[in-house]
Amino acid sequence: MKIKRIEHIAVAVDDLEGGKSMLTNLFGLNLEYEERINTTTLAMYPVGQTYLELLHSEDPTSRTRKWIGERGVGLFHICFEVEDISEALAELKAKGVKLLNDQPVSGHNGSKIAFIDPESTGNMLIELAELVAHPAAQT
């Protein structure tokens, strides 16, 4: 598996507007794009070659809202950009790694993503993403 970089670090937040304001006002970060996937809104802030992703959902059945209910706001997952997600998933399966997604699903900005079961990673939620080459999505 070829990991290219940490694509983003995701933080689950209760207050998306407050989180966005904090990143802009305290650190001078600029929002690149905001996107809604199902019932979750994400806001992407570039920091060097990676992103800080804020995740927010009001839906009590969403993974983000459940996470906040169990653990509070804060670090949600780390996403590695991979060259070929299908190859990466096959390699992980061959190693006996438990996956939350056996096949890639649609993710942020048109990417193909999959999550690794935290049971296989020391209780860390890890996302893999294969990016597509196109400009960032806009809302």
Domain 3-130 has CATH 3.10.180.10: yes
**Tens of each residue's pLDDT in the chain, 139 residues:** 999 999 999 999 999 999 999 999 999 999 999 999 999 999 999 999 999 999 999 999 999 999 999 999 999 999 999 999 999 999 999 999 999 999 999 999 999 999 999 999 999 999 999 998 755 544 4
Q: Tell me whether strands 3-12 and 50-56 are parallel, antiparallel or unpaired.
A: parallel
Distance CA 47, CA 85 (A): 23
Measured between its terminal Cα atoms, the distance across the chain in Å is 33
Identify residue 86 by its one-letter amino acid code: S
All residues at 6 or more sequence positions from 82 whose CB lies less than 8 Å from its CB, including other chains: 1, 2, 3, 4, 88, 128, 129, 130
Query: Where do the structural domains in the chain lie, given as residue ranges?
Result: 3-130
CA distance 31 to 14: 18
pTM listed for this prediction:
0.89
